[in-house]
């Protein structure tokens, strides 16, 4: 299950504005909370079961790399 659902650039900008106001001095927390808000926005109209499946599908697509 590959997710192609995305928010518009305007929606993304609004989310970034919100997290930067909430965590002005912490870019790491900004990233985490942006991701949380982004997923919440994408899944707000989904049932609990469909939301869980959507998030699991996203997690399978995540590639974690270590920085040197």
0.85 exceeded by pTM? no
Q: Is residue 2 part of a domain?
A: no
pLDDT of residue 68: 63
Query: What pLDDT, on the 0 to 100 scale, is given for residue 1?
Result: 44
Distances (CA, A) of 24 to 35, 37, 65: 16, 16, 26
- Is residue 57 one of the residues assigned to a domain? yes
Torsion on CA atoms 52, 54, 60, 62, rounded to nearest 10? -110
Quick check: is 23 in a domain? yes
With a cut of 50, list the residues of the chain below it in pLDDT: 1
Residue 48 lies in a domain: yes
Residue 1, in any domain of the structure: no
In a domain, 44, yes or no: yes
Q: State the residue range of the domain holding 37.
A: 9-61
pLDDT of residue 39: 92
Query: Is 36 inside any structural domain?
Result: yes
């Amino acid at each position: 299950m590959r997710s192609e659902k995305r928010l518009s650039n305007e929606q993304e900008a609004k989310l970034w504005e919100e997290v930067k106001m909430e965590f002005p001095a912490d870019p790491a927390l900004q990233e985490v909370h942006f991701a949380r808000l982004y997923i919440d926005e994408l899944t707000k109209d989904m049932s609990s079961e469909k939301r869980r499946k959507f998030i699991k599908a996203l997690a399978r697509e995540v590639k974690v790399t270590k920085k040197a």
